[in-house]
Amino acid sequence: MTRACLIGLALAAATPAPAADPARPNVVVIVADDLGYADVGFQGCKDIPTPHLDALAGGGVVCTGGYVSHPFCSPTRAGLMTGRYQHRFGHENNPAWLPDDKAVGLPLDQVTLADALKKAGYRTGAVGKWHLGAHPAFHPNRRGFDDYFGLLGGGHQYFDHNRFKTDPDRARQEYFIPLVRNEKPVEEAAYLTDALGREAAAFVEAHRKGPFFLYLAFNAPHTPLQAPEKYLARVKDLKDEKLRTYAAMVCGLDDAVGAVAAKLREHGLDRNTLIFFLSDNGGPVAVTNCRNTPLRGAKGQLYEGGVRVPFVVSWPDRLKPGRFDHPVSSLDIFPTALAAGGGEAPKGLDGVDLVPHLQGKAAGLADRTLFWRTGGGQSFAARKGPLKYVRVGKQPAELYDLAADAAEAADLAGKRPEAVAALGKELDAWNAALVEPRWQNPTPKKK
């Protein structure tokens, strides 16, 4: 791959950029939707086969203390896409499907990772779930992505994509809108997860001369629980029908990741591609019968089961395979990718470049403080070192030592009041710099 070739690609994309560096990696960010903490092989799962994800983890760094910045969908994606706590700009709830409302979505004054990497000369593509606003102003093509294929809302049917209908419940309308390629509706015959894997692999093929940034955001294994027989057959020994369908959807996600990995290998891109894999939040145990073992809680909660997720960073040319046990965050993806790509970082990022830490060349993550807030202040959490502070509603603050108690079973608040006070003070200072949510979560109509 020559310098002239890369410069020609950047000029062809009409993107002003510095001289291209052939050593710059491609960047791929893969996000699962509502994946259980214990439901992939590299996390110890025995009854759902995930060979492609396990291979990715085996060749990368498994971050055992991997977190997202929110316990449910859209706010996590807003934080990941901006590298900032989404509470700083009011994106604290899921946006309703409101195509005529320019106020409900990722604020237009926020710089996205796609904006930054495109400016640095990357071809940018998004495949899959968007969920960052329904108004055309929020469309991926207007938020830094050159190419887009997928579902613009928070979910979709996995079959019968072309049976569009009007649903009187705005909270479900987005599940029945057309899939789109860029801004044009498309018909699609394939199982949705298969289609996303196909399109992601096609993006790699089309832009293999790079550098490229691919954001592959699955809606699997989020509801509705729908899977084809070819995946159901792989988990036929699971007797719980709900869990079996969910598990089959995880198999489909794994195959789609495998399609992208195979395309990278085909063109010799696998070693110099920086890949992140994570879930957008913890699994919704009561909804899909997924497993967050050994963690307490589930999607929507600030206990570990809501915000601690499977998290892998792979860059074979720069990172040795292994485990990393200090806390890392989805907020770190933006600065890590941008540092690797040679882009200029916008001001106000909350994450850090993980590469020197994962290489053992930098310290400081062991004692970093991570924060969480839901509902504009309904619940809070903070983690510093092994200690986790949780305050749910008006209940007294709780304290857990995650090094000894990942399940958050033993509340130490009564024994460590000084730690409770210190973490509470730090959290209150963080919260004082935030803004109120710009909108509330959409509420489904009662039947």
Residue-wise pLDDT tens digits, 366-383: 999 999 999 999 999 999
Residue 74 belongs to a domain = yes
129 and 143 housed in the same domain: yes
CA separation for the pair 184, 191 (Å, rounded): 20
Instruction: Answer for the pair 132, 70: CB distance below 8 angstroms, yes or no.
Output: no
User: Is residue 307 predicted with pLDDT exceeding 60?
Assistant: yes
Residue 442 belongs to a domain = no
Instruction: Answer for the pair 259, 294: CB distance below 8 angstroms, yes or no.
Output: no
Q: Point out the domain boundary residue: 363, 387, 418.
A: 363
In order of 70, 147, 172, the CA distances from 397 in angstroms are 19, 46, 36
CA separation for the pair 158, 180 (Å, rounded): 14
Supply the pLDDT for residue 14.
Answer: 40
User: Is residue 155 predicted with pLDDT exceeding 60?
Assistant: yes
DSSP summary character for residue 132:
S
DSSP summary character for residue 133:
B
Q: Point out the domain boundary residue: 318, 346, 363.
A: 363
User: Is residue 11 predicted with pLDDT exceeding 80?
Assistant: no
User: Is residue 443 predicted with pLDDT exceeding 90?
Assistant: no
Residue 446 belongs to a domain = no
Q: Which of 19, 22, 17, 16 is nearest to 1 (CA)?
A: 22
Active site residue 131: yes
User: In this structure, what token pair is assigned to residue 240?
Assistant: 């719980």
User: Is residue 8 predicted with pLDDT exceeding 90?
Assistant: no
Residue 443 belongs to a domain = no
User: Is residue 315 predicted with pLDDT exceeding 70?
Assistant: yes
Supply the pLDDT for residue 12.
Answer: 37
Residue 437 belongs to a domain = no
Number of domains observed in the structure of the chain: 2
User: Is residue 426 predicted with pLDDT exceeding 70?
Assistant: yes
User: Is residue 7 predicted with pLDDT exceeding 90?
Assistant: no
Phi then psi for residue 55, to 5 deg, are -65, -40
Annotated catalytic residue, options 73, 161, 222, 357: 73
Single-letter residue type at 178: P
242 and 391 housed in the same domain: no
CA separation for the pair 434, 315 (Å, rounded): 34
Single-letter residue type at 307: V
216 and 246 housed in the same domain: yes
Active site residue 73: yes
User: In this structure, what token pair is assigned to residue 115?
Assistant: 């904006």
Q: How confident is the model at residue 160 (pLDDT cuts 50, 70, 90)?
A: confident
User: Is residue 4 predicted with pLDDT exceeding 70?
Assistant: no
User: Is residue 21 predicted with pLDDT exceeding 70?
Assistant: no
Phi then psi for residue 399, to 5 deg, are -140, 135
User: Is residue 388 predicted with pLDDT exceeding 80?
Assistant: yes
pTM score, two decimals? 0.93
Q: What pairing do the DSSP bridges indicate for beta strands 379-384 and 369-374?
A: antiparallel
User: Is residue 10 predicted with pLDDT exceeding 60?
Assistant: no
Single-letter residue type at 77: R
Q: What's the domain range around 378? A: 369-432
Number of H helices, E strands in the chain: 13, 16
Instruction: Answer for the pair 337, 344: CB distance below 8 angstroms, yes or no.
Output: no
Average pLDDT over every residue of 216-240: 98
Annotated catalytic residue, options 70, 87, 91, 131: 131
Mapped onto helix, strand or coil, the DSSP state of residue 68 is coil
